[in-house]
Structure 1
Amino acid sequence: MGDGTNDASQQNEGGDYSSIEIGNLNKQLLASVIKKLDSVPPSAIGETCCIYRVHEKFRKINKNAYTPDTVAIGPFHRGEERLKAMEEHKLRYVRALLAQTTTPDRKLEECIKAMSRLEERARKCYSEPINLDSHEFLEMLLVDGLFIVELFCKSSNEVPTGRDDPIFNTVWGMPNIVRDMILIENQLPMFVLECLFNLTTVPSQGGRSLTELALLFFNSLMPRDESVLKKYSNCEGKHVLDLIGNTFHNSPRKEEPKPNSNQAWKFMPCVMELRRAGVKFKKGSMVGSFLDIKFSNGVLEIPPLLIQDKTETLLRNLIASEQSYNGHATYITSYAFLMDGLINSAEDVKFLRHQEIIMNYLGDDEDVSSLFNKLGNEVILLDFNYAGVCDQVNAYYKTRWNVWRAMLKRKYFHSPWAILSFIAAIVLLILTFTGALFSILSFLVHKS
């Protein structure tokens, strides 16, 4: 028979803690937790957030694809020892840009005031609180932003370059800078660049917009004629990486409406298997986007893609960008999944290379195969843009007549001599059949 104390103890053990006296808790712990709850800042990932730290699951696959080698842009890699060599050169570019204005000191003051007005908005673009005071943050926006503006102008010959410029007068300079400036962690908000560009551009320059200068600067990554780039002169982006990505999937062609809002990834056989089923591969147009893959009447049309040492970095950062803040946009992610299905081996790459669909500057077809086979690792695909294409290809692939026709063509019509041999065999078969028929008829006539 238990007393009242035991009954209360049993009640509390059942999970009802409302009757516990506050005096039974550690008051210091309570005060500490309350203080932390009251002081925790709001999440940095809001509607305006667009520049992210790469998730560790992507970084462990290929750390180098997300890490700058030469220049730090923005706060995430600011102050890293290996990147400090470029800091003085940034200042030289800022001085050179301001020197082109009529009143450099006054122009600098205008730029500082403009950055002050944009500070709060710019801070909200980053996925984590920036541990820089107002002075440091504004200096970063100013120096990095003006450096980029002057760099774009120099690269397009809007302004001359000096002989002592390590970016334009060394073999490694420009390629390294281009690569570093497409990293998702190495970005400034586009509105910061637009503001500084508008404040410092002088009438004597070539008249190109910031967007046109940026696209020209990064054109070596996926070369396109300047006439093609002009179609995207009014294209927008949250930062330069986002701008580049938007020119790939905001192509002029009209998108076909999707029957479902979210389409799952669908398996498609590799190139060599599709060839055995009679699927033909055609080099697509170079005028549009490399994403414009189509299938019609047994022909899979794929625009050409240049594969070089910076291609993986570009694709990985575009995918990381889609995975981070633009979950509804899966253009590059879908492309990576589709190409991963088409390319299973170096043989698949070799055939696409012979068709001029892939231009392999890496040298080894196996490297290209490995690149595509790893792009989708740890990536989540919510909406597969090529679901319709895969349905069409798979339906063609599963049709028996297409398989038989392809097999006959491969065995008996792959060369003129094979065709002649096949015709001779058919003629011989007809003659044999005709001879046998006459023998039977002659036998029946004699018997009757």
Structure 2
Amino acid sequence: MSSPEQPRGQNTRMRKMTASANGDTDETSGLTTPRSCEVPLCSSYENGITRIPEETRLRDPEAYHPKAVCIGPYFHSGRNSPSFRRMEQHKHWCVNRLLERSNHSLEPLVQAFLLRLSKTIKTKSFQQLYAKPVDMTEEGIGMMLLFDGCFILHFLLRHDPNKGAEHEYWTKLDAGLLDHEYETLQWERPWEWSLVAIDMLLLENQIPFVAVRILFDILKTEHDKAVDLTACARNMFNKYLPAGMCTSTRPIRCQDVRCLLQLLYRSLLPNPKLHSDLMKTPPKPPRTGIDPAKKLDTDGVRITRRQQWYWWPLSHFQEPFTFLDIVFSHGKVRIPQLEVSDASIQLLQNLIAFEKCYQGTTSHVANYAAFMDALNSDHHDTELLRKRSIFDVQFTPAQPELSLRRRCKQDVDPSSENYLSRMMVDVVLYKEARASRKKTQTPISDTAFFAVLAVTAYVLLAFCWYIVS
């Protein structure tokens, strides 16, 4: 695959561009964007893109390591390995195509991007975008952010839910009618895009989303005015992620997105409309965990799958939900279906790690995993949940029992602010009320029952005879 043209003396120009971006020279780029776009594109970088704690990584190193594409500096040393070489070439292709569609050239793009990024983060060091030291030069980090950012931007634009005037262009491109190299990449190993989508959501395989936004602001065309990058990302999530991990449609401002993994996390949070009473104080202190599924079923609490309605008008009256939206009503615990596969377990591991690594983040995914483990205590519970279509187990061969706690290889004990606490208390209260009603009911013997039935029949026959006569 071809890469963007790199004229002689490019290293010298790159150093000058970096110096210009850092404010050390008076050179400016001929590629400009409106000043109105220079509003703060990110709120805070006190906590940059972080790394997995070593004790967590050692439990399952493969869960946090990309398989098809390297994004960001933490795996930079392996970019030239056979596993990643294909996508590294594709990054150059993406830069070329974005430049072509916007009628720009590489050199002005580099200078404008570095200048905008430096102004946005309000620092002279790109190292501060990451929480841990990065063994790369400032120039290397800047160029890495540009090529990785163009790769992500092109991938997101391909999944714009409202392709509009460029629908024909993207359709033909995906069909391989516009570019032979892209056709080869698209159809030679189509399954690879699912690996790419998962890799782009690993905790350490991230770049600040502000870099993608700046590139989009510079390279967008007149057809891109209505494009919402968060909507593109969600459409991509829903296409490639395991079944059951569909995202919500709640609006998320683009400038509030730290990285793609954070966008996925926010898109999976429980719907506040469905859990408006979660912050109310429970009538009694919540219990830790919940009874196993088999015992709940025996006690009269039915476990059912919560389904999304797709037919209008039913879908019009249903609030969207994610796999975290577990509800209890009328004696039924309704749980959305989750595909249990290597990909979904890997995503759960990275989402739980994200909750642990970033301050101010909720523990909803960890609480969900702890709840499902308490519900699924042995292979009998697993079989029940599979029959009720709550677990769609994709492992081959299927495991006799399924523990998210063991498969995630992380401590997923419920936190003190468990979003499922109120629901678990409601289940306990329902069981107590049901048991109390059974105790107060007076048992009726078979003889008394038939006596009452005979008297009732005699009264009805007498009434009918009276009417006829």
TM-score (norm 2): 0.69
Equivalent residue for 2:404? Answer: 371
**Counterpart secondary structure, 1:302:** strand
Q: 1:221 to 1:192 in 2, by over 3 A?
A: same
* Residue 93 of structure 1 pairs with residue 97 of structure 2: no
Equivalent residue for 2:428? Answer: 394
Q: Distance in 2 between matches of 1:83 and 1:342?
A: 40
Amino acid at match of 1:208: V
Q: Distance in 1 between matches of 2:70 and 2:437?
A: 55
Q: CA deviation at 1:190?
A: 1.5
Equivalent residue for 1:190? Answer: 209
Equivalent residue for 1:58? Answer: 56
Q: Distance in 2 between matches of 1:367 and 1:209?
A: 44
**Counterpart secondary structure, 2:141:** helix
* Residue 201 of structure 1 pairs with residue 226 of structure 2: no
Amino acid at match of 2:372: M
Displaced runs of 4+ in structure 1, greater than 6 A?
402-405, 427-431
* Residues 267-300 of structure 1: per-residue CA shift (max 9 Å, x gap): 3111111111111123224331221212233211
Q: 1:225 to 1:290 in 2, by over 3 A?
A: closer
The structure with the larger Rg is 1
Q: Distance in 2 between matches of 1:51 and 1:88?
A: 25
Amino acid at match of 1:149: L
Q: CA deviation at 1:301?
A: 1.7
Q: CA deviation at 1:148?
A: 0.7
Q: 1:125 to 1:348 in 2, by over 3 A?
A: farther
Does structure 2 conserve the Cα–Cα contact (< 8 Å) formed by 1:101 and 1:107? no
Equivalent residue for 2:305? Answer: 283
Q: Distance in 1 between matches of 2:281 and 2:294?
A: 30
Equivalent residue for 2:295? Answer: 273
Residue-pair matches, total: 366
Equivalent residue for 1:318? Answer: 351
* Residues 70-115 of structure 1: per-residue CA shift (max 9 Å, x gap): 1110110012134344322211111111111123243443223223
Q: Distance in 2 between matches of 1:397 and 1:163?
A: 64
Amino acid at match of 2:394: Y
Query: Structure 1: which 5+ residue stretches go unaligned?
Result: 1-45, 406-422, 435-448
Q: Distance in 2 between matches of 1:317 and 1:182?
A: 8
Does structure 2 conserve the Cα–Cα contact (< 8 Å) formed by 1:100 and 1:202? yes
Which stretch of structure 1 is more off in the superposition, 63-72 or 100-109? 100-109
**Counterpart secondary structure, 1:232:** coil
1:408-419 alignment, distance < 5 Å = none
Q: CA deviation at 1:248?
A: 1.4
Q: Distance in 1 between matches of 2:400 and 2:227?
A: 38
* Residues 222-249 of structure 1: per-residue CA shift (max 9 Å, x gap): 55899x7554364742111110110111
Amino acid at match of 1:274: L
* Residue 342 of structure 1 pairs with residue 375 of structure 2: yes
Identity among equivalent pairs (%): 24
* Residue 248 of structure 1 pairs with residue 268 of structure 2: yes
Q: Distance in 1 between matches of 2:272 and 2:289?
A: 28
Q: Distance in 2 between matches of 1:224 and 1:267?
A: 23
Q: Distance in 2 between matches of 1:328 and 1:265?
A: 23
* Residues 332-376 of structure 1: per-residue CA shift (max 9 Å, x gap): 111111111111233323322332333333355537713354437
Equivalent residue for 2:37? Answer: none
Work out which of the residue numbers 387, 391, 395 in structure 2 matches 1:354: 387
* Residue 296 of structure 1 pairs with residue 329 of structure 2: yes
Q: 1:293 to 1:246 in 2, by over 3 A?
A: same
Query: Structure 2: which 5+ residue stretches go unaligned?
Result: 1-43, 309-319, 455-469
Q: Distance in 2 between matches of 1:139 and 1:195?
A: 14
Q: 1:224 to 1:274 in 2, by over 3 A?
A: closer
Amino acid at match of 1:112: L
Amino acid at match of 2:66: P
Q: CA deviation at 1:51?
A: 2.1
Q: Distance in 1 between matches of 2:216 and 2:401?
A: 38
**Counterpart secondary structure, 2:71:** coil
Does structure 1 conserve the Cα–Cα contact (< 8 Å) formed by 2:47 and 2:131? yes
Equivalent residue for 1:238? Answer: 258
Q: 1:255 to 1:367 in 2, by over 3 A?
A: farther
Q: Distance in 1 between matches of 2:243 and 2:257?
A: 19
Does structure 1 conserve the Cα–Cα contact (< 8 Å) formed by 2:244 and 2:337? no
Q: 1:353 to 1:180 in 2, by over 3 A?
A: same
Q: Distance in 2 between matches of 1:264 and 1:59?
A: 32
Q: CA deviation at 1:138?
A: 0.4
**Counterpart secondary structure, 1:306:** strand
Q: Distance in 1 between matches of 2:300 and 2:229?
A: 47
Equivalent residue for 1:75? Answer: 73
Equivalent residue for 2:41? Answer: none
Does structure 1 conserve the Cα–Cα contact (< 8 Å) formed by 2:405 and 2:411? no
RMSD (Å), alpha carbons:
3.4
Q: Distance in 2 between matches of 1:69 and 1:221?
A: 15
Amino acid at match of 1:99: E
TM-score (norm 1): 0.72
Q: Distance in 1 between matches of 2:413 and 2:299?
A: 30
* Residue 103 of structure 1 pairs with residue 93 of structure 2: no
